[in-house]
Amino acid sequence: MAKKRTPQKESPERDPNTHILGSGAVLKQAIPETLVTNYMPYAMSVILSRAIPEIDGFKPSHRKLLYTMYLMGLLRGPRSKSANIVGRTMQLNPHGDAAIYDTMVRLSRGYETLLHPFVDSKGNFGKSYSRDMMWAASRYTEARLETLCAELFRDLDKDAVDFSDNYDGTMKEPNLLPASFPTVLVNANTGIAVGMASSICSFNLEEVCKTTIALMDDPGHNVADTLQAPDFCGGGYLLYNREQLEEVYRTGRGGIRVRAKYNYDKLNNCIDITEIPPTTTAEAIIEKIIERAKAGGLREVSDVRDETDRNGLKITIDLKRGVDADALMRRLYKHTTLEDSFSCNFNVLISGMPRVMGVADLLLEWIAFREECVRRRVSFELGKAQERLHLLEGLAKILLDIDKAVAIIRKTEEEAEVIPNLMIGFGIDKLQADFVAEIRLRHLNREYIMKQTRDIDDLNREVADKEEILQNRGRVHKIIRGELETVMEKFAQPRRTKLLFADEIEEIEPEAVTPDYPVQLFFTREGYFKKITPQSLRMSGEQKLKDGDEIVMQLESSNTVELLFFTNKCQCYKSRAADFDDAKASVLGDYIPTKLEMEPEERAVFMAVTRDYSGQLLFFFENGKAAKVELSGYTTKQNRRKLLNAVSDKSPLAAAFQLGAEDGAKVYFAESTVGRGLIIPGASIPAKTTKNTQGVGVMTLKPGVRVNRVTPYVDGSLPDQHRYKTKNLPAAGAKITGNLGEQMRF
């Protein structure tokens, strides 16, 4: 039997953009439409109401907190519990107590992130330079407003700025704070919005105020002339680059490099770091140092620890014996956040629109904002003065006939008719009549009325003055200038971040640990240099030299020593043994003038080898003088490769020697071109601190005669050595007899 078919129900028409799934209908919607409908309102809210500061220098959360504290009377008087402040602030800020307290912490003096903090804190508010040092709960800490905040709320009660309702319409709050100085640049401010961010570095208050005054006088003023550089609460050193800084000032974007400040404690052989860049923390620095030390990249470090206490930040790095602290810090600057970059992005809300501006444009916008605040204040004061003047003018008319006024009031049967009758009787308006009618009976005497009307002339002058201010922009600028000068006088402080100029910055590429192994160093008269390992030297034959050349210095050393090459042009070129490749005896070696890129016609005449710049250098000149110089005088913090005026240029070098601690008693034999010889004790030549000193006379020479050779002398080498000795220097020496080479037994 055939199965009976059940009739199908007709399905309703479906929108082709709608899909039916198990959980219900899903509406198809274009991505751009979804972004506009759902995402853009959120993005705009974050940009306008949370993350980007406005021209007064504050985000809404900052402004709500400070205004609440102002209403609580915390500008003067004792501190209040932070929990109390946070709770009161929730009337304006609905984002929760944790967010409000975090905002207070970052504005506080205790947190140490602002050059000029706004919250005077008591208790543990953490530290901006510590990631792990958390602040105490709000119930334990106390706070009030700093004295500087009086400049933020100046004229707030004189209609200087607009007010709007809070989130539930129960209170009014200022849209901006009428700050009397450019807080937008004085304190650092950062924020991340949706699709954009803001990062404003802090500047010295005095420099900002002076720059603002200069821009009021000349809008084309070059801000770099008065605004030296950013200034951070944590101090440190700013690597000053005028071109990069002017680019930041012009565009509002760029990077500023800041490095830590350290001191070397020679007694304990350690480095104490006391100031770090604002973008890092002590924990991050210590972790990076430990990481590199474990990887074998910091063998000079024996320990690192955080010794921060009530006196402030202190990171201590213990060093192994003989370590160059400055060289180690150069490497740490390169490989850790002890040197870091602060990225500038001067993004500020101007009339509800985010704009990235340079310093000059930002300050000009602030000047325009402050002009409007001053004009509104003056207009408010003008209105009050005019109102007072109007009342006093009515009172002055009563002065003409007080008895008449009393009679009008007494004869008026109904109270409601008193005001109209006074208006008619004296020709005054309702406000004036109200004022007169409210005068107490005890004040109906001429003395009282004369006192009240005595201010009419002063009020007339005040009204005229304020009207003139509103019409004259120069007067407004004069007021703003006076306020800025007052702020500078009260709150200016010295720069905390010192400037490190280009010629003081050691721009080198720190390398990995240089392998240390024994080598033999060879230096020839013609200026060739070889570095040969002992194994290679044992397997080699005789040394290959240029025709007529000879080895003048050969010594055992290591691959990590530093080399100083002195030239015939009185200059010194610094290098390291590790910069030269290992060679063999069968090659000529590296030609020093070419390797170190010396000047034309310049050649190396002497080589000194050192590891720690201890000891001395002894120079003998052809004019008969000698100079002993401390080798430490050739150290450079900037790691310069070329030192000018390294040796006196008054006379060519006749010979040079490097002296160790045990070489102070060495003796030398000097020969002149006329065949005279003189034994010179090295101890008789005093040490000088100046590298290019002319030295002291040791050998007296006639015109045209010079010293042509100086060699070390061993006592007893000459059979008649007493002839060449003298009690006093300088001396002419004695005539050399016979063959000197055969007589001297070295």
User: Among all residues, which ones are annotated catalytic?
Assistant: 140
Nearest CA to 300 out of 514, 616, 591, 16 is that of 514
The secondary structure element, H or E, covering residue 460 is helix 456-471
The count of other CB atoms within 10 Å of the CB of residue 69 is: 24
Q: How far apart are CA 446 and CA 459, in angstroms?
A: 20
Q: Which distant-in-sequence residues (6+ apart) come within 8 Å of 707 by Cβ? A: 620, 621, 622, 623, 624, 654, 670, 671, 672, 673, 699, 701
Residue among 161, 200, 163, 164 at smallest CA distance from 183: 200
In this structure, are residues 566 and 572 in contact, taking their beta carbons and an 8 Å threshold? Answer: yes
Distance between CA atoms of residues 175 and 172, nearest Å? 9
> Which residue pairs from 44-47 have beta carbons closer than 8 angstroms and sit at least 24 positions apart in sequence?
46/193, 46/194, 47/193, 47/194, 47/195, 47/196, 47/349, 47/354
Kindly report the number of other CB atoms within 10 A of residue 238's CB atom: 25
Q: Which residue bears the tokens 């951070």?
A: 232
Structure tokens at 374: 């001053």
Provide the 3-class DSSP secondary structure of residue 49: helix
Are 66 and 152 in contact by the 8 Å Cβ rule? The answer is yes
Strands 687-688 and 625-630, by their bridges, are: parallel
Peptide bond into 117 cis (omega under 30): no
Angle at CA 588, nearest 5°, toward 585 and 590? Answer: 110
DSSP string, 176-230: S---SS-HHHHS-EEEE-SS-EEEE--B-HHHHHHHHHHHHH-TT--GGGT---B
Among the listed residues 148, 159, 182, the one whose alpha carbon sits nearest the alpha carbon of residue 370:
182
Q: Which two tokens stand for residue 122?
A: 């008591």
| Burial (Cβ within 10 Å: 0-12, 13-18, ≥19) of residue 131 | middle
Give buried/exposed letters for 533-546 (b at 16+ CB in 10 A, else e).
beebeeeeeebbbe
Cβ count near 588 (within 10 Å): 16
120, 162, 158: which is closest to 142 by C-alpha? 120
For residue 579, give both structure tokens. Answer: 């910069």
- The burial of 701, by beta-carbon neighbours within 10 Å (0-12 exposed, 13-18 middle, 19 or more buried), is given as buried
8 Å CB contact between 63 and 179 = no
| 167: number of Cβ within 10 Å | 12
3-state secondary structure of 592: helix
Kindly provide the residue ranges of all beta strands, DSSP E only, lying in 503-592, ordered along the sequence: 518-524, 528-532, 551-558, 562-567, 572-576, 590-591
